[in-house]
Structure 1
Amino acid sequence: MKISVERTGGIAAMTRVWTVDARSKTAINQWEPIVEACPWDAVPRTPRAAAEHFAGSQPDRFIYSIRAGDRRAALPERAVTGPWRVLVDRTRAAAQESGAGQGTPALDSRE
């Protein structure tokens, strides 16, 4: 299962991507409960839909586009709470630990 978190926006309007590729049974068993805890059907799938859904979003804040296998979600920074925060933080930490996503620019993402 491939998991990626793309963070866009902010004052500098920079894009960062963190990716984890959980292939082993151990890795899948570790990541699956984190992914399953997120309410995928309750949130928009694209940044544009997120902007419409979360009208009144604060300017210069981050937007997170999250993928896990076939699942997609897009959330403004203020909505990345609970299980979403766990998934985003763990993906970022795991990618940075493995060297596979040190806040790499989107053009250099590992897709």
Structure 2
Amino acid sequence: MKISVERSGGIAALTRVWTVHAQTASAKSQWQPIVEACPWDAVPKTVRAAAAEVHDNQPDRFIYSIRAGQRRAALPEQAVTGPWRVLVDTTRAASEDKPGRQGHVQA
């Protein structure tokens, strides 16, 4: 299972991407509960839809686009809480722990 978290926006308008490939049985068993804890059906699937749900004008906030296998979600920064925060933080940490990999930055 491929898990990726893309964070876009912010003051500098940089996009960061963190990716994990859970390929072994032990990796899948580690990641599956984290992924399944997230309420995928309760959130927008696209960045545009997530941005439209932000009721107050909050420029320079991040938008997260999250993918895990066939699942998709897009969340404004303030909605990345609970199981979403666990998934984002765990993916970021695992991606940055890889030798020679510090998260991918797109300008």
Counterpart Cα distance in 2 of 1:27 and 1:100: 20
Structure 1, unaligned stretches of length 5 or more? none
- Matched letter for residue 5 of structure 1: V
Q: CA deviation at 1:83?
A: 0.1
Aligned length: 107
Q: Name 1:4's counterpart in structure 2.
A: 4
- The DSSP-based 3-state class of the residue aligned with 1:59 is coil
Structure 2, unaligned stretches of length 5 or more? none
Q: Quick check: 82-91 or 98-107, which moved more?
A: 98-107
TM-score by length of 2: 0.94
Q: CA deviation at 1:57?
A: 4.8
Residues 1:33 and 2:20 are matched in the alignment: no
Q: Name 1:93's counterpart in structure 2.
A: 93
Where do residues 1-80 of structure 1 align in structure 2 (5 Å cutoff)? 1-80=1-80
TM-score by length of 1: 0.91
Aligned-residue RMSD, C-alpha: 1.5
Counterpart Cα distance in 1 of 2:82 and 2:103: 22
- Residues 79-101 of structure 1, C-alpha deviations (whole Å, 9 max, x = no match): 00000000000000000001475
In terms of fraction of residues, the more strand-rich structure is 2
- The DSSP-based 3-state class of the residue aligned with 1:30 is helix
Counterpart Cα distance in 1 of 2:2 and 2:86: 16
Percent identity of the aligned residues? 70
- Matched letter for residue 65 of structure 1: S
Q: Quick check: 16-25 or 50-59, which moved more?
A: 50-59
- Residues 48-92 of structure 1, C-alpha deviations (whole Å, 9 max, x = no match): 000112232521011100000000000011000000000000000
Deviating above 3 A after TM superposition, structure 1's stretches of 4 or more consecutive aligned residues are none
8 Å Cα contact 1:19-1:91 kept in structure 2: yes
